[in-house]
Amino acid sequence: MLRKTWLVVAWATIYVAASGWFFLFPLGGGSSNTNNLQAMQKRGDWSGMLEEANIQLGRYEKNADWLNVKGYALMKLNRCDEAIPVLKASIDSKRTNTGPWGNLADCYKQQKRFADMVGAVEELTKLRPDLAQAWYALGEAHYLSGDTQKVAKVYNEVYSRNTALAALYKQNFMPATEGRTETLASTPTAQKAATAPSINEIQARLAADPTSSKDWTALGTAYASAGEIAEAERALKEAVRVNPKDAAALYNLGKLYQGKGERDKAREVYQQLNAADPDLAATFFREYILP
């Protein structure tokens, strides 16, 4: 019987320092397979990962987990036309695996097949309704589809599971809905998102309470939106100084460093974020460290 070792790469249901979202696969061959794939992932050797998956599938034909690895490698090589049938074969072999559903959703996203992306992520929420990240991904899929009513509805699911991730969700998907054909004016969450406080308003709040990491974070994101990157960095660093475990502040500071090309600083912030909020760190890793 195959001995199984666990590796988290891109879509994870268990979060560790190098985790992402929902890409969990048990592999035969012991720790050597895990170590090899981890090394390939770190250096972006997707061709090597694909070759290894093909070798293992020659030994363990139709193995759901190795099919998932193959599909993931093909996706990272921008070969989603080939990846999709492989991921579907993995699902057919083991429908309860979250990994191939997540990778399938990512392929549909690459191909701008947003309705299909919604369907794949909905399967994730059925398999793991407890995961805030699955709901976050569903909201992203609805956002990309232009379904702003469902974006607002899914926000509540994210918020009930992880408030820091919900803050990021609102920042990424809800303010931008203002002015679309379908509006969110009838929803309290949309009204709040559409009336984001100005820099002056946030500064006034900080004058009254300079220890509010939430307001320092809001100030940093407001400056970033205005293109004032130096001021944004200063405000976000102050938020982290006030509260080293403020996950939203850490996320946005790491995002800012990544945008400036300061990858070493982004990775340092990622380690802090992983200690403060592994779920949000997994999202950060997938979006800013893994690519």
Q: Kindly state whether residues 213 and 110 are assigned to the same domain.
A: no
Out of 71, 90, 124, pick the residue that ends a domain: 124
In a domain, 8, yes or no: yes
Q: How far apart are the C-alpha atoms of 158 and 139, rounded to whole Å? A: 9
Domain count, the chain: 2
- CA dihedral 4→5→10→12, nearest 10 degrees, is 80
In a domain, 206, yes or no: yes
Q: Kindly state whether residues 3 and 120 are assigned to the same domain.
A: yes
The segment with the largest mean pLDDT, out of 16-20, 22-26, 123-127, is: 123-127
Please report which confidence band the pLDDT of residue 196 belongs to, taking 50, 70 and 90 as the band edges: low
**Nearest-CA neighbor of 249 among 289, 216, 288?**
216
Q: What range does the domain containing 106 cover?
A: 1-124
Out of 124, 140, 158, pick the residue that ends a domain: 124
In a domain, 133, yes or no: no
Rounded to an integer, the average pLDDT of 243-263 is 89
Q: How far apart are the C-alpha atoms of 162 and 198, rounded to whole Å? A: 26
In a domain, 179, yes or no: no
Q: Kindly state whether residues 119 and 205 are assigned to the same domain.
A: no
Q: Kindly state whether residues 214 and 104 are assigned to the same domain.
A: no
Q: What is the pTM assigned to this prediction?
A: 0.63
In a domain, 130, yes or no: no
3-state secondary structure of 48: helix
User: What pLDDT does 35 receive?
Assistant: 75
In a domain, 19, yes or no: yes
Contact between residue 270 and residue 278 where contact means Cβ atoms under 8 Å apart:
no
Q: Kindly state whether residues 27 and 115 are assigned to the same domain.
A: yes
C-alpha separations of 5 from 20, 51, 53, 67 in Å: 18, 19, 15, 16
Please provide residue 116's backbone torsions phi and psi, each rounded to the nearest 5 degrees.
-70, -35
Please report which confidence band the pLDDT of residue 285 belongs to, taking 50, 70 and 90 as the band edges: confident
Contact between residue 268 and residue 284 where contact means Cβ atoms under 8 Å apart:
no
Give, to the nearest 10 degrees, the angle between helix 132-145 and helix 163-173. 10
Out of 80, 103, 124, pick the residue that ends a domain: 124
Q: Kindly state whether residues 112 and 227 are assigned to the same domain.
A: no
Q: How far apart are the C-alpha atoms of 64 and 288, rounded to whole Å? A: 28
CATH number at residue 232: 1.25.40.10
Q: Kindly state whether residues 119 and 3 are assigned to the same domain.
A: yes
In a domain, 100, yes or no: yes
In a domain, 259, yes or no: yes
User: What pLDDT does 97 receive?
Assistant: 83
C-alpha separations of 90 from 51, 132, 144, 247 in Å: 17, 24, 26, 34
User: What pLDDT does 12 receive?
Assistant: 32
